[in-house]
Amino acid sequence: MKSFIQNRIEETKSQELDLAPLLDVVFILLIFFIVTTVFVKETGVEVDKPTAVSTKQLQKSVVMIAITANREIMYAGTNVGIKGVRATLTQAIKTQAKPLVIQADKMVPTDLLVQVIDQAKLAGVLSVSIATVNE
């Protein structure tokens, strides 16, 4: 005859939970969220944006370029310069047409801003916006 302790050990072993189905569900949810997430490439620098009353929120899938007060043109943390804007934007929009958002510092000369917009238009960008801060 089995002892009381042996019976309790067998009962404890039979009451263990199988975590495999729970882990399967967790991994499926993780894959779902990774696949459906939209990633926006940030410019990698902070700029002091001008203020505007007509500020509005744009869609998530945009291409962002920053122009710093030091006249550096940044894309994804890299200084591309005025000569690299066209090639960079052509590459960024080759699979899907996306609008361009330029984050220009308040101190950026208008001439440089116009040059960046011209290069964007030559690259095939259909919509160009300038990032501002709401008053």
- Contact, 91 vs 130, CB < 8 A? no
Q: Which of 25-34, 36-45, 101-110, 117-126 has the lowest mean pLDDT?
A: 36-45
Per DSSP, 96 falls in state S
Interval 59-72: pLDDT, tens: 667 888 999 989 99
Average pLDDT over residues 44-56: 70
Residue 28 backbone dihedrals phi, psi, to 5 degrees: -65, -40
**Residue of 102, 103, 98 lying closest to 127 (CA atoms):** 98
Q: Per the confidence metrics, is the pTM higher than 0.95?
A: no
pLDDT at 12 over 70: no
Per DSSP, 88 falls in state H
pLDDT at 32 over 60: yes
